[in-house]
Structure 1
Amino acid sequence: MQLVEFKNHKKNILRGIFSPAKSSQGVIFVHGLERNTSEYKFRNYWQALAGKATLFRFDFSGCGMSDGQFTDFTVEKSTEELALAVKKFKRLAPNLKNISLVGHSIAGAITLNYLQDPKHNLDKVILFGPAFNQTELLKYYFVRSVFKGKKNIDWSNYQRNFPAPAFAQYIATKKHLRKAHYVFNKFFQENVDLDYQDFFAGCQLDLKNLLIIQSKKDVKVPIQSNDKLPREIKQIVLKDADHDFERPDWVQQYLAKSIDFLIK
């Protein structure tokens, strides 16, 4: 394994781990919001694929091992960083014939945005709990925060309790405090009207090579939010997993099947 450094468009140093193999197939890993690619769901794939595929996991700026600030996180900025990571991966492993991707949550939006460019090609894609429907998810998160500790809000009732004027004021606020970071409202303004499921139409990917892993009990990205998925895609639906998909009994339900999908 090799620690790899490369710079984004703002000259921040991004870092990743590269693991070569005698294989023409590569796999790149893309994490979710405020996350990193050292999470167990990625490490499970890393260990299972070691020696079978050339691997590269990296962290977006302001996350994990990478420098920079999380405050200016946007899907567009992350898409640019993904493009740079893929470019770096190809330089590290020039004999690769194809590259596949494993991503989580907001990585779904980033990946579909990346695949709008005709120059960007991926062989196969696996997405965990993809947060495609940003226009509704942002409202859903806001309603849950407003009524936290007061009322049980889920996907079935958030729209009835949605305070539009307060939400408009919220996304106009310049900086927001999240779990571990501040984030500028550029992210909210970028995504308030976007459902990345609409990006399937221009996607540079054979959709039968897309596998989506979801859970009926995912509260952060409810399965009902992804209501416009193309019929061609493959799915694995778990009954009771949370948004992390990392409990060992959950992993047993998808890991072997998804690896077969990825490397065959």
Structure 2
Amino acid sequence: MIEILNPTLLARARETGALVADILQTLRSRSTVGTNLLDIDEWTRSLIAEAGAQSCYVDYAPSFGRGPFGHYVCTGVNDAVLHGRPHDYTLADGDLLTLDLAVSRNGVAADAAVSFIVGDSRPPQSVALIDATERALAAGIAAARPGARVGDISHAIGTVLGEAGYPVNTEFGGHGIGSTMHQDPHVANTGRPGRGYKLRPGLLLALEPWVMADTAELVTDADGWTLRSATGCRTAHSEHTIAITDDGPEILTLPRSSRG
């Protein structure tokens, strides 16, 4: 299913996107050395409830997972890049943490992710990974103009990641979003320009470049959810929900504090 949102729903999407961004900003500020991943999950549950919103994750049970996800935020540490299930782990200085959050409010969902380094350490490999995904995300957003194709976005993202020297996995990528968290079209993190669905105003997309330092192969934890690099290398993941408008792409998942 591909949804095209009318102006009323787009206004709701802006509010949901701002909520997702604000929660992620709060979680990032609280995620310091000594923080437990289960505390991050509880903070997320509380912040979603306070906003009168609903988690897209807690009851999420797709075919590739093992039963409902059962938590409110994805927490990936170091080699865990996607669907990181919160567990009893205390963050250490230099850990690379990815927080991925999807929330629905007033019938519209938004999805975003951020990767950052905990504490004062700045391991060069981790810095480079995060930088590459953020630059790839910016390139993908810039390509998401009305009349362009999904392949143009994929090509823009893949060019940045490839030039940075990272293998690109195409099993998981970006996606349409709207009344539900995951919709068509699929937006791979590499691809050929001029191919795929033609972008129309009112379309919402969650773009999410993610990379692993030296492999494109994933392995799944015993929890049935957490996806890690097959080699144990570090990983990073950046994501925004955007709206296609007549004037170009609009980023919906920016914190209110950063908006003009």
Q: Which has the higher helix share?
A: 1
The TM-score normalised by the length of structure 2 is 0.23
Q: Which has the higher strand share?
A: 2
The TM-score normalised by the length of structure 1 is 0.23
Larger RCO of the pair (alpha carbons < 8 Å, separation 6+): 2
Larger radius of gyration: 1
